[in-house]
Amino acid sequence: MSTTEKAPGARTETPRGEAIADWADGRLGIYNFRFLIRKVFPEHWSFMFGEIALYSFVILILTGTWLTLFFEPSMAETVYEGSHVPLQGIPMSQAYATTVEISFDIRGGLFIRQMHHWAALVMIGALCLHTLRHFLTGSFRKPREVNWLIGFVMLVLVTLEGFLGYSLPDDLLSGTGLRIASGVTLAIPLVGTYAHMLLFGGEFPGTDIVPRLYPLHILLTPGLIFILLTVHLILVFYHKHTQFRGPGRTEQNVVGEPLMPNYTAKAGGFFFLVSGVLALLAGVAQINPVWTYGPFRSDQISQGSQPDWYMGFLEGALRAMPAWEFVLPGGYTVNMGILIPAVIVPTLMAAVIALWPFLEAWVTGDRREHHLLDRPRDHPARTAFGVAFVSLYLVLFFGGANDVLAERFQLSLNAITWSVRVGIFLVPALTYIVTKRICLGLQRRDRDKLLHGRETGRIRRLPHGEFVEVHERLDRAREYSLLARQDYKPLPAPLPEHDGVPNPQGRKEVLRYRLSRWLYGGQIAKPTPRELTEALEHAAHAAGAHASSNGHASPNGHAPSNGHAPSDRQLEAGEREADQEVR
């Protein structure tokens, strides 16, 4: 065969897929983004909350676009003549009439409407859990403070977006929620009346509120969320993903799955799983049946009116606050019964969440970059504070359902209200104490496992008659994870003066010192290299004693009496790792 002839089966033309890729690269330069294809993402179940929120947002966009084709955002009055007999002949707004029409007369309308509502609830819930996960693991620290603020603003906007969409049908329940919003707006000093006129176009309820909320719900707020979400994901790519401590994981690398094809395949499957669950909820779990509430009338309200769960804390705060108002000189009335629970308390709660990364960095003076996460038990004060914050939210949430609880459980409404008032102060304090004690107990348990091994549940009788439980040494990966925990220590006490000169920053440094003692004080230290060495030597001695007593050694190198007798090679490796960890 001559050199010009081609071998049998050799390719004679470029594969179609490669040709398409080359064509796209010549015009878009996609080959320059190959580093994104190999971007590594770590694996942990808690990372899925952010994905659930993202996929729910995609479902919201798709279902919301479909609903805009049939919904009419008008408060013009009409008489219902549709297929739902109980509402026939009743005057109502065009917004309510088209909502009922979507539910009963348009094929698949009720399914899409309920899927849209369920997706909103799931997205807000996933974002709350996602934020809590970041808080408890410390992923908000440098260099991710800005991304934390972006996520917080997204949470606020998504909550606002849910309230806007909840208010559009103009039914009796959503109208009650708007009436509360009207009262809260009017309670804001100085600017409240102007803001109310701008929002409602006049006295409540007016005829402009639904047409004004509609563009905010379908255009402005989703657009802002989309922009912030894009920036948020870009920063995740730029900073690289955080990960929990473990073998091979450092502040300079990420251990996990590449974006293509592993992570993309998993993410695609998870998207369809989330979509399927939302579709199942929409098909079997009824939500927001507006036809049972009827159209909104300002002179009516239904017993047991409850907002969506994410607004329950605001409802509970309003119900728990006693009536309190006073008149300023000039006849200006300040309604503290609304201003405190509906404006001041939510603002303070939001400020604590948003500013926590900067507060912790100021208290600790920590300016290092952090890419490894803490376990919640590794930071007892922060974890206890986060859980106490959640407990306060739950107390207010159940306070918003005091009438439902009183009816269902045959309890006194006043007794429930007073329980909520007391619980606002008592429950977070008790929750903080209990949570911190649990974290410290878990730290002691981890220390004990490192020094004495894990309990196996097997009981052995020693030659002199004593019964002991057999312990086994932890596997090396688990030991590494426990030893890699960072020991946090409070700041040293500031000096009141130096060479007889008072410290000009004395008060500020004393405040930082006290806060750092609250944040980092009282933690259980990891075993030192000397303690680990002594524990290993003791385990080896116990294993040798048992082997001499029964004539043979344990096959896995662990002592039958305490289960902590490694081989000489394991001993040396453990000592080296302990020394390296301390250094």
DSSP codes of every residue in 52-73 = HHHHHHHHHHHHHHHHHTT---
Q: What pLDDT is recorded for position 542?
A: 62
Q: Are 134 and 140 in contact (CB under 8 A)?
A: yes
Residue 92, beta-bridge partner list: 78
Torsion of CA 182, 187, 190, 194, to 10 degrees: 10
CA distance 305 to 20: 58
Q: Taking the CB of residue 169, how many other CB atoms lie within 10 A of it?
A: 27
Q: Is residue 284 within a helix (H) or strand (E), and if so which, with residue range?
A: helix 264-284
Walking along the chain (583 residues) 10 residues at a time, the average pLDDT comes out as: 51 76 78 75 90 96 96 94 92 95 94 97 96 95 94 96 94 91 91 90 88 94 96 90 89 86 88 96 94 89 81 93 88 89 94 94 89 93 96 95 92 95 96 96 92 86 85 85 86 78 81 91 87 79 58 43 43 45 40
φ, ψ of residue 373 to 5 degrees: the values are -90, 155
Chain centroid offset of residue 36 CA: 26
**Residues contacting 433, CB < 8 A, separation 6+:** 384
Buried b (16+ CB within 10 A) or exposed e, 227-257: ebbeebeeebeebebbbbbeeebeeeeeebb
CA distance 99 to 105: 10
Buried b (16+ CB within 10 A) or exposed e, 384-420: bbbbbbbbbebbbbbbbbbbebbeeeeeeeeebbebb
For 472, the token pair is 């086994």
Torsion of CA 530, 533, 534, 538, to 10 degrees: 170
Among all chains, which residue has been given the structure tokens 């329950």?
312
Among all chains, which residue has been given the structure tokens 């007391």?
422
**Angle, vertex CA 162, rays to CA 161 and CA 165, nearest 5:** 85
Q: What pLDDT is recorded for position 303?
A: 67
Residue 325, beta-bridge partner list: 335
Q: Residue 85: left if φ>0, alpha if ψ -120 to 50, beta else—which one?
A: alpha
Of 440, 402, 436, the C-alpha closest to 421 is 402
Of 388, 398, 395, the C-alpha closest to 434 is 388
Which string of DSSP letters, residue by residue, matches 317-383? HHHHSPP-EEEETTTEEEEHHHHIIIIIHHHHHHHHHHHHHHHHHHHH---S---EEPPGGGSHHHH
Q: Reduced to 3 states, what is the DSSP secondary structure of residue 93?
A: strand
Q: What pLDDT is recorded for position 550?
A: 54
> 79 burial class (0-12, 13-18, 19+ CB within 10 angstroms)?
exposed
For 344, the token pair is 């001041």
For 394, the token pair is 């739950």
Q: Work out the widest C-alpha separation in the chain, in whole angstroms.
A: 109
Residue 327, beta-bridge partner list: 333
Handedness of CA 382, 387, 391, 394 (dihedral sign): positive
φ, ψ of residue 472 to 5 degrees: the values are -125, 145
Q: Reduced to 3 states, what is the DSSP secondary structure of residue 41?
A: strand
CA distance 354 to 350: 6
φ, ψ of residue 581 to 5 degrees: the values are -65, -40
**Residues contacting 64, CB < 8 A, separation 6+:** 116, 165, 218, 222
pTM, two decimals, is 0.86
| CA distances, 505 to each of 379, 501, 509, 518 (Å) | 28, 12, 6, 20
CA distance 491 to 130: 30
For 256, the token pair is 């996990």
Q: What pLDDT is recorded for position 10?
A: 54
Peptide bond into 169 cis (omega under 30): no
